Structures are given as structure tokens and as C-alpha cells.
A and B are shown apart, each in its own frame.
Chain A
């Protein structure tokens, strides 16, 4: 088995998984930000309505 081929095969799969993992992290961090913002706005609206 050609070792140069294996090196590039490793680069290829690593790059693919890095892109997918980065995308998942982006999705999770955005989800947390949205959940936090939603909870904050809901409590603000509830506070204003009570007054």
C-alpha cells in the first residue's frame, strides 16, 4: 500500500470530519443562544404584562 496515498486519504477524511464537527458545534452554540434569548424575552414579556 502506497504511504503517500494513505496520507492523503487521512487528510481527506480528517477534513470532512472537521467540517462536519465544526458545523455541529455551530448548531449547538446557536441553539443555546436562541434558547437563552427566548427564555429572557418570555420573562420580560411576563414582567411587563404583570405591571
Chain B
């Protein structure tokens, strides 16, 4: 069942992504101010949006684990955080390359970029600390608390370009303010969907590994007790 779902998600992702990439690279005109480089938006922003979706899922599942003590929630949480952290890295790297081309600098310590870097470091910390805790219940409980704590950065990332009186190098929210050209909206939405489908397949694979890892832990305990 799980394998079937992974294959279906991967096929759907390919069906959405391949024609969309063709539209992005061969169908859309260059942007008036930026030329061809603006096409980075079709990977840079979908990566960030999906990371925030998966971090929100991890927040909910972490709370559910603390309430119900069911390891299924813990395995979903860690899987979402691992994939989300990878997406934040994609967002930071592509943003840096875009910034180098448009602003002439690789990095600016403004609120948006710094809060996104903090987000990456917080969740990376979660992933590095987690394996150091041997006892499964303790590991899942501490991980859930760290995941809830790390999520506190997400509203800051979202608000960084919306707060008044905050000077930022990063442009404002183009979708909400309507400054994105109408012909860019459909490929942008399909880009978000394609990244979501690929990453959901990756989360299902990772979640299965987490369940198998717990089985390994219990077999090890059984071996010691025999």
C-alpha cells in the first residue's frame, strides 16, 4: 500500500513537473527587470512554501505525540522535519545565487534571510541531537519539545517581509500584493504542487525507515534479554 502510494506520488510529480519546466524555460517570456534569472522563483519559493507546510505538520504531529504517546506521530514529525530542512537548504542556496546576480552580494543579514537561516540551523540541530538519545520514548518526547520550540521561528520568517518599518533586501510578498504577472501564476502554482508531491513521497519513504529503526531498537533489546 505504502509502496503503491510512493509510486503514484512520484508519477504524478513527474506528470506535473516535466510539462511545467518546459513552460517555465521555453514558454514564459523573460521578466522586464531581471531577464531570465527570475525563473529561479519557480524552485526558490515552492521550496520555502513546502518547507513551511511540512514544519507545520511536524508541529501538529509533535503535539499529538506528546498527548497520545503514539510513535506514528513521532515518525511523521521527524520525516517532515528532515525533508523540510532539505527544502530550506534549497531555498537558501537558490536565494543566495539569485541575490548574487541581482544585488551583487551572496548574502545580506536582513530579517528575512537571517530568520530563514535560523530556521535551517534550528531544525538541523533537531536532526543532529535526535540520534544521540538512545531511549525511544525519551528521544521522541525531547524531539517533540525541540520541534515545537523550533517552530517559533516560522512566524518570524513569514512576517519578516510584511512588518512595517523593517528594512529588508528581500522583495515583498509578490503573490499577495498582486505584483506577479498573471501568466506566471499557473507555472508557479504547479511548481509548488510538484515539489509537494515529490517531498510527500520522500516523507513516506523516510517514515517507513523510522518505523523499521524502531523495530531494530526493540529487536536489540530482545536480544539482550534472551
Contact = CB atoms under 8 A, between A and B. Distances in A.
B202 to A, nearest CB: 7
What is the interface of chain B mostly: helix, strand, loop, or mixed?
helix
B43 A12 contact: yes
B223 A34 contact: no
A15 B93 contact: yes
B35 A45 contact: no
Interface in A1-26: 1-2, 4-6, 8-9, 11-13, 15-16, 19-20, 23-24
A16 B94 contact: yes
Given A13-B43, A20-B198, 10 more contacts: A1-B35, A5-B36, A9-B36, A12-B43, A20-B86, A24-B202, A31-B205, A35-B212, A37-B216, A38-B215
Contact of A5 (B44, B101, B209, B219): B101
Interface of B: 30, 34-37, 39-40, 43-44, 47, 83, 86, 89-90, 93-94, 97-98, 100-101, 198, 202, 205-206, 209, 212-213, 215-216, 219-220, 222-223, 226
B206 A9 contact: no
Contact of A19 (B30, B90, B219, B226): B90
A44 B221 CA distance: 12
A3 B186 CA distance: 26
A20 B205 CA distance: 14
Contacts of B86: 19-20, 23
Interface of A: 1-2, 4-6, 8-9, 11-13, 15-16, 19-20, 23-24, 27, 30-31, 34-35, 37-38, 41-42, 44-45, 48-49
B200 to A, nearest CB: 14
A25 B108 CA distance: 32
B219 A15 contact: no
A23 B202 contact: yes
Contacts of B216: 34, 37-38, 41
Nearest to B98: A12
